[in-house]
Structure formats: C-alpha cells, structure tokens
C-alpha cells in the first residue's frame, strides 16, 4: 500500500467533501432541513458541532480510502474510483438515507434529496480517491544466479 498517496487521497477527498457539503447540504438543502427544526440543528447552532462532523468525515473517508487501496484491481484510477464510489453511494443510501427516513420524522422529499445527495457525494469521494491514489510499485523479485 502506498501510504503517501493514501494520505493525499484522504486529504483531497475530504476537501472535496467539505466543498460539496457546504454547497449541497449547507446551501441547496438548508431550506429543507429548516422545515424540521425538531430534528435538525439550525445553521447557527450547528456551527459548534462542525469539528465533530469534519472529524467523523475524515475518519470515514480514510477508512474508505484504505478499502479502495486493498481492493484496487489495477485498472484506470478514475474508473476504479467511480465504481468504488457508486458502491459506497448505494451503501450510504441503503444504510443511512433509508433508515433515517424510517426513524426520523422527515418527509419523503427530504429523504429523497438526502439519498440523491449522499449517492452523488460518495461517488465523487470514490472518484477523487481513485484519481489520487496510486499503488506502490511491486518489489521486483530477484532470483539466485548459479
């Protein structure tokens, strides 16, 4: 495993996710979240929890990058990353968006928006990891000469 490229992939994907999250969840969907003040914190109240949110995302992206590196099949980095990101996106939609809709008192529209946004988010994270991560060169095997 190429730890330097792994770290670079984690940093790049985390930066991408911060920008995406601000644009989509913090701006485009802010009004939808605001319709559920008993479920979601206001933008002002949520500011105090941003370090926890970013720390959690950094850990999640680091784990995703390690999974990608372990499962890397040697193809085009972008293509492998997109495939990986799509799988992560499906996982997020099934494990979180669907469960949150069942458990939280939110409407179908917000649940759908969060599902689509999460799928796109993790597809982009996977693509970024795939673009940045490059495996370490395999060591060459030396054979004994007689």
Q: Give pLDDT tens digits for 38-63.
A: 999 988 899 999 999 999 999 999 99
Q: Burial, 95: exposed, middle or buried (Cβ in 10 Å; 0-12, 13-18, 19+)?
A: exposed
Q: Give pLDDT tens digits for 71-121.
A: 988 889 999 999 999 999 999 999 999 999 999 999 999 999 999 999 999
pTM of the model: 0.89
In a domain? residue 144: no
The sign of the torsion formed by the CA atoms of 24, 18, 55, 52 equals negative
In a domain? residue 94: yes
- Tally of domains within the chain: 1
Query: What is the extent of the structural domain holding 79?
Result: 3-132
In a domain? residue 138: no
In a domain? residue 146: no
């Amino acid at each position: 495993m190429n730890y330097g490229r792994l770290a670079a992939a984690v940093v790049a994907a985390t930066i991408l996710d911060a920008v995406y999250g601000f644009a989509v969840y913090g701006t485009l969907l802010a009004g939808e979240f605001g319709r559920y003040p008993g479920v979601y914190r206001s933008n002002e109240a949520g500011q105090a929890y941003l370090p926890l949110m970013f720390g959690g995302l950094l850990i999640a992206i680091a784990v995703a990058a390690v999974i990608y590196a372990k499962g890397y099949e040697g193809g085009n980095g972008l293509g492998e990353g997109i495939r990986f990101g799509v799988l992560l996106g499906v996982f997020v939609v099934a494990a979180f968006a669907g469960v949150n809709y069942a458990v939280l008192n939110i409407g179908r529209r917000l649940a759908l928006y969060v599902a689509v946004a999460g799928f796109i988010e993790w597809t982009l994270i996977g693509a970024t990891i795939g673009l940045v991560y490059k495996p370490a060169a395999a060591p060459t095997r030396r054979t004994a000469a007689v």
